[in-house]
Amino acid sequence: MNDKIIKISGRIDSENAASAEQRILEQLAGAGDVVVSLDASDLVYISSAGLRVILRLKKAYPKLKITNVNAEIYDIFDMTGFTEMMTVEKAYRVVSVEGCDVIGEGFNGKVYRIDKDNVVKTYKNADALAEIQHEREVAKLALILGVPTAISYDVVRVGDSYGSVFELLNARSFAKILAKEPDKFEWCVTEYVKMLKKIHSITVPEGRLPKIKDKTLKKISRMKDTLPDGLGDKLYGMVQAIPDTDHMVHGDFHTKNIVLAGDEVLVIDMDTLSTGHPIFDLYLMYNAYVGFYEFDHDAVLSFQGFDYDTSVRFWKACLSAYLGTKDEKKISETEDKIHCLSYAYMIDRDRRYNGVSANEDSHVGIFTAKLIDVLGRIDSLDFELSEIPKEAEKELETDAITDNLDVVTDFVNAHLDAAGCSLKTRSQIDLAVEEIFINIANYAYAPNTGKAVVRVDLKKDPDAVAITFSDRGIPYDPLKKPDPDVALAAEEREIGGLGIFLTKKVMDEVAYEYKNGQNILTMTKKL
């Protein structure tokens, strides 16, 4: 079914509602069963006479929708209940990226800095809006689960497509840092690997993210028959045998997607976020630093901004740091496993994009030879995961502002739910979390703002939870505040102090210390 798009413009009020309606109906004459889409880009005012026109149209064309509605008119539609009756799409702010610095570029679009504090990520695809929506949801989930990331706060129109706007103060990608400040190489490796481990340590609630193994199996199944002697089936079987885990993988973890914003390291570009074994991230990283550029060393310079030698060196250093070993033998064993997937990926990619036949001199031929060689030595793609600490997911660092209370309680509740905490206990704990977090948000940094870290530790035998809040605000021990006299009527009581009193009541233990410039409040409760 086609959309019949009709422009409505100017003012629609009692003076011209009848003629506007007639004009619309004339354009719809003989249109049959269509989705009528009223384009309100140029509509500046609608009165109740105009609303009645739309209501009648809606009765005649139940699939009526209104698009590009400005904010004021959207409010009218919203308050009068029209947004509940039909699709009303807001107009997107138009942003021009002409002359703006390109600070990132990926397969699907570019990232431009539009002013000092904001960047816009543009999308090439036709269904950009759906993609933006998806990425927003995934980024939100990631943030709740503890991945520091930027969440877009607005969707805008950029040329013929759409973009999402992020606030990124002074952000520089790791690619830029590596290119411009070679002395920061070690620091980049350390922070990069720390972030990768953090992501890999996070458990994702079932069904929230796709399984990255499925995507890889699709690639393998497309190219496996080009391998001789049943090696294709062997590879496919090995990928299938990689243990499924509910841990997070990023899916595109390269130095352009890791940024330093202020003094905070953030991961961006969350649309590939999935769950699965770390090997999937590692092989995609290998491709991003080595695989794609094996036959075109200069290309890495134009994509990442640093040279091929730096790229290979960075990959090696990161793998060693990730595996926590300098033992060459151990590293090369793991690298062999990574190569199995990397080469298969390169073969599939070249065959699909370049249609290259597998003669010996072609890239596909060389990758095929390498793959055959490594497949002869490898029987399993799994490797020991015990090196990866499970620490990171226990902590959430967030801006101590009241708006983030939901993020904090969601984070705490995710842990409590995982521990099988009862609803009653959970709501008591939520109450305490709210009191403490709002306290920090309101007072710790006033009149400025700062960060708060929330940490959740679950204990076994007996089941208990310890929740720790730390901030770098003014030293303040809330426990010193005397308990309010609850025997007095509310209006006779001293103001304040009730929150911490409630916290002490619902939790089993609450302790405070000031250490290393931090307020640290720990509260525990049996589950």
Partner 1 sequence: MLPIKIDLHIHTNVSDGTDKPEELLSKVRDAGFDVFSVTDHDAVKAGAVIRAGLKDGDPRFIQGAEFSCQDGDGRYHILGYGFDPDGEAIKNVIELGHSYRMKKTAERIDFITREFGFEFDKSEIDAILALDNPGKPHIAKLMQKHGYAGSIREAISKYINGIRFTEEYVRPEQAIEGILKSGGIPVLAHPFYGGGDDLILADDMEKRLIRLIGAGLRGIEAFYSGFSVKLRNEALGLAKKHDLLVTAGSDYHGENKNIKLGDTNLAEYGKMPEGMKRFFEILDIGL
Binding residues vs partner 1 (CB under 8 A): 13-16, 18, 21, 47-49, 51-53, 55-56, 76, 79-82, 84-85
CA angle 407-408-414, nearest 5°?
Answer: 90
Q: Which is nearer to partner 1, 15 or 477 (CB)?
A: 15
> Residue 401 carries which side chain, given as an amino acid letter?
I
Question: Sign of dihedral through CA atoms 137, 266, 195, 185?
Answer: positive
- Closest approach of Cβ 47 to partner 1, in Å? 5
* Residue 9 β-bridge partners: 42
- Closest approach of Cβ 36 to partner 1, in Å? 15
Q: Which is nearer to partner 1, 65 or 493 (CB)?
A: 65
- Closest approach of Cβ 55 to partner 1, in Å? 6
Q: Which is nearer to partner 1, 23 or 113 (CB)?
A: 23
Q: Which is nearer to partner 1, 21 or 434 (CB)?
A: 21
Q: How far is CA 298 from the centre of its chain?
A: 31
Q: Cβ distance 147 to 198 under 8 Å? A: yes
- Closest approach of Cβ 82 to partner 1, in Å? 6
Q: Which is nearer to partner 1, 81 or 228 (CB)?
A: 81
Helices (H), 251-325: 278-289, 297-304, 308-323
Q: Which is nearer to partner 1, 47 or 518 (CB)?
A: 47
Residue whose entry in the numeric block shows the structure tokens 């640093």: 306
Q: Which is nearer to partner 1, 10 or 262 (CB)?
A: 10
Q: Which is nearer to partner 1, 10 or 376 (CB)?
A: 10
Closest CA to 264 of 175, 183, 169, 184: 169
Distance between CA atoms of residues 526 and 421, nearest Å:
10
Distance between CA atoms of residues 110 and 125, nearest Å:
12
Structure tokens at 218: 């699709």
Distance between CA atoms of residues 70 and 89, nearest Å:
9
Q: Which is nearer to partner 1, 18 or 130 (CB)?
A: 18
Structure tokens at 396: 């959430």
Q: Which is nearer to partner 1, 49 or 458 (CB)?
A: 49
- Closest approach of Cβ 52 to partner 1, in Å? 4
What is residue 244's DSSP assignment? Answer: P
- Closest approach of Cβ 88 to partner 1, in Å? 12
Closest CA to 244 of 220, 218, 211, 215: 211
- Closest approach of Cβ 18 to partner 1, in Å? 7
93: left (phi over 0), alpha (psi -120 to 50) or beta: beta
- Closest approach of Cβ 508 to partner 1, in Å? 46
Helix and strand counts by DSSP (H, E) for the chain = 17, 20
Q: Who's near 149: CB < 8 A, 6+ residues apart?
A: 139, 142, 143, 266, 267, 268, 270
Closest CA to 293 of 363, 189, 357: 363
Structure tokens at 6: 């009709």
Q: How far is CA 357 from the centre of its chain?
A: 38
State the pairing for strand pair 264-267/258-261.
antiparallel
- Closest approach of Cβ 17 to partner 1, in Å? 8
- Closest approach of Cβ 80 to partner 1, in Å? 6
- Closest approach of Cβ 59 to partner 1, in Å? 8
- Closest approach of Cβ 56 to partner 1, in Å? 6
What is residue 474's DSSP assignment? Answer: S
Q: Which is nearer to partner 1, 48 or 125 (CB)?
A: 48
- Closest approach of Cβ 43 to partner 1, in Å? 15
* Burial class of residue 302, CB neighbours in 10 A (0-12, 13-18, 19+): exposed
Q: Cβ distance 247 to 202 under 8 Å? A: yes
Q: Which is nearer to partner 1, 77 or 280 (CB)?
A: 77
Ranges of beta strands (E only) in 93-153 are 93-94, 101-105, 110-113, 118-122
Q: Which is nearer to partner 1, 52 or 316 (CB)?
A: 52
Q: Who's near 409: CB < 8 A, 6+ residues apart?
A: 430, 433, 434
CA angle 489-495-501, nearest 5°?
Answer: 80
Give the SS3 label for residue 520.
strand
